[in-house]
Homo-oligomer: A and B are copies of this chain.
Amino acid sequence: MKTVIVGAVAGGMSAATRLRRLDPAAEIVVCERGEHVSYANCGLPYHIGGVIADRQALLLQTPDSLRARFDLDVRTRTEVTAIDRARRLVRLREAGGREYEESYDRLVLSPGAAPFVPDLPGVERALTLRSVSDADRFTALLADRRPRTAVVVGGGFIGLETAENLRRRGLRVSLVELDRQVLAPLDAEMVTAVHAELRRHDVALHLGTALTKVLPDAVQLDGGRLLDADLVVLAIGVRPETGLARAAGLTIGPRGGIAVDETMRTSDPHIYAVGDAVEKSDHLSGEAALIPLANTANRQGRLAADAIAGRPARLDGRLGTAIVQIFDLTVAVTGWSEKRLRAAGRPYQAIHTHPASHAGYYPGARTMALKLLFDPHDGRMLGAQAVGGDGVDKRIDVIATAMRAGLTADQLADLELAYAPAFGSAKDPVNMLGYIADNLLTDRQRTVQWHELDAAVGAGATLIDVRTAAEHAAGHIPGSINLPVDELGDRLPEVPDGEVIVYCEVGQRGHTATALLTGRGRRAANLDGGYRTWRAGMTSPWADPRHG
């Protein structure tokens, strides 16, 4: 059996090595149009910034090492230009120009995705970052031209990593983003800290702004403004590399990726496809989704090999867990965001907390913002977001694991997470989410979201700040009266009749206050996430302009 693989990085090479382990006799040809194979795309921004100084560290394998260990026939600078499905042949073109055909029994496509380059004047000068060769172009330019200014277009994961690493190299960096915020998977109130962190590190943010033109040493934005730009970087998303597949008549899915079944098989039973080029199934909706992440590409590569070797194997729907470091901030997400749920009309309940990374009484604890979204009827978890430092990755990984396994939000309370003072809390932040979800799911408590507050107050609710007088004095929600939780029992008569919304700094004292008031027969709700979430939301670019 002969398998030809297109693309020699995450998905393609994982398929190749696995196939060899499953079938020592298989003939395996891997075609890569670029110069390098098995490289760490994810490390490229850090190589540009000098964090990964040694370029060699990015090259995990070479054609020689792969031949020696796995008996793979790896052909670099060799592009697959066409598939002849009827004859089961692919057409290859070497960088030198030579063209030839190669037959296959099974074909695996892992061509990845290409950075999207809009059709704008002067755009040829802009750099994109996908391969080691791309990174080489960056480092050559940085060394030769000693640029002083850079404009990064696109505030996604790769754009932010690139912006940070160019700052690290001392450039003045502007970030241009069409959306009103960076990092689309984050909700408004969660992204505020990211904007602040970027500004704190002197990245000039141009949000809600489009690039219109690339000039020789500047870029032009919509509205005509010019930004100095010795370097222009485009990081406005990637598009599945579907050229080959389209030309061969393979089914392309609704999101523009190659359509595959659970075993990675395309519409042609002899052709498999994996990685950034294919559509995955969304864990929540089952709909087609493009999730260009390395974990899934590697997983799919192995699965395709399993399928080819006749092993049972199928891929579940994807959550799209992702993480990015932005200077001293870590941002991680899994599943859906609130805005996506809202847009889809899916009922959800949100929880915001601001827990410490580990026990507050042990030195070095750092506060993170944590958000959980779940179904208000059955408790199914829908998504989570975390912004902070230490421990953000852990909490999102735990939640992603619980989501994959189908736990409900309140079941997070029962997780036994490793606790010693340097690592967590006796009630870990994830347990605490479970407690809060439990309170909401069993209808013991009602909460109000930061963006619902105006309407609630408009409808006549009284707003009570249950923090201390000092906290209240330092900043509070306009119109709120101060009635510290510790005095609530004695001062109950002061609480006005009718609907009451209480808030504290993060929601925890508010929870106790709400419970006390509700227990005394009042109609009370807690402001979810407290003053901190409200403020983050109201200072976000999405907030009602009246409070902007």
**Within A394-433, which residues are at the interface with B (CB < 8 Å)?**
394, 396-398, 400-402, 404-407, 413-424, 426-428, 431
**A 294-332 binary contact with B (CB < 8 Å = 1; else 0):** 111111001000000001000110111111110000101
Residues of B within 8 A of A147 (CB): none
Residue A43 at the chain B interface, CB threshold 8 Å: yes
The answer to whether B295 touches A416 (Cβ under 8 A) is yes
The answer to whether B361 touches A420 (Cβ under 8 A) is no
The answer to whether B485 touches A69 (Cβ under 8 A) is yes
**A 479-502 binary contact with B (CB < 8 Å = 1; else 0):** 000000111010000000000000
Q: In chain B, what residue has the closest Cβ to A45?
A: B421
Residue A224 at the chain B interface, CB threshold 8 Å: no
Residue A359 at the chain B interface, CB threshold 8 Å: yes
Distance A423 CA – B43 CA, assembled complex (angstroms): 12
Residue A51 at the chain B interface, CB threshold 8 Å: yes
Residues of B within 8 A of A247 (CB): none
The answer to whether A294 touches B426 (Cβ under 8 A) is yes
Residue A195 at the chain B interface, CB threshold 8 Å: no
Distance A347 CA – B329 CA, assembled complex (angstroms): 45
**A 504-548 binary contact with B (CB < 8 Å = 1; else 0):** 000001011001100110000000000000000000000000000
**Within A124-144, which residues are at the interface with B (CB < 8 Å)?**
none
* Smallest beta-carbon distance A234→chain B, Å: 20
The answer to whether A334 touches B418 (Cβ under 8 A) is yes
* Smallest beta-carbon distance A437→chain B, Å: 14
Distance A413 CA – B325 CA, assembled complex (angstroms): 24
Distance A402 CA – B397 CA, assembled complex (angstroms): 11
Residues of B within 8 A of A21 (CB): 511-512, 515-516, 519
Residue A285 at the chain B interface, CB threshold 8 Å: no
Residue A440 at the chain B interface, CB threshold 8 Å: no
A406-B405 contact given A413-B299, A423-B323, A427-B298, CB 8 Å threshold: yes
Q: In chain B, what residue has the closest Cβ to A283?
A: B416
Q: In chain B, what residue has the closest Cβ to A442?
A: B311
The answer to whether B516 touches A42 (Cβ under 8 A) is no
* Smallest beta-carbon distance A493→chain B, Å: 15
Residue among A40, A315, A334, A428 with max Cβ neighbours from chain B (10 Å): A40
Residue A456 at the chain B interface, CB threshold 8 Å: no
Residue A210 at the chain B interface, CB threshold 8 Å: no
**A 357-376 binary contact with B (CB < 8 Å = 1; else 0):** 00111110000000000000
Q: In chain B, what residue has the closest Cβ to A434?
A: B299
Total number of A residues with any Cβ neighbor in B under 8 Å: 93
**Which among A52-60, A80-88, A199-207 touches the partner chain?**
A52-60
**Which among A22-30, A113-121, A173-181 touches the partner chain?**
A22-30
Residue among A318, A407, A420 with max Cβ neighbours from chain B (10 Å): A420
**A 136-175 binary contact with B (CB < 8 Å = 1; else 0):** 0000000000000000000001000100000000000000
A414-B419 contact given A42-B359, A442-B311, CB 8 Å threshold: no
* Smallest beta-carbon distance A384→chain B, Å: 11
The answer to whether B418 touches A515 (Cβ under 8 A) is no
Residues of B within 8 A of A421 (CB): 40, 42-43, 46, 52
- Some 23 contacts from A to B, beta carbons below 8 A apart, are A20-B512, A20-B516, A24-B516, A25-B519, A42-B359, A46-B362, A65-B486, A69-B486, A69-B509, A71-B489, A295-B427, A299-B431, A319-B416, A320-B416, A323-B423, A332-B418, A393-B418, A394-B397, A397-B397, A400-B417, A401-B405, A401-B417, A402-B405
Enumerate chain A interface residues (CB-CB to B < 8 A): 10, 17, 20-25, 40, 42-43, 46, 51-52, 57-58, 60, 65, 68-71, 157, 161, 293-299, 302, 311, 315-316, 318-325, 330, 332, 334, 359-363, 393-394, 396-398, 400-402, 404-407, 413-424, 426-428, 431, 435, 442, 444, 485-487, 489, 509, 511-512, 515-516, 519-520
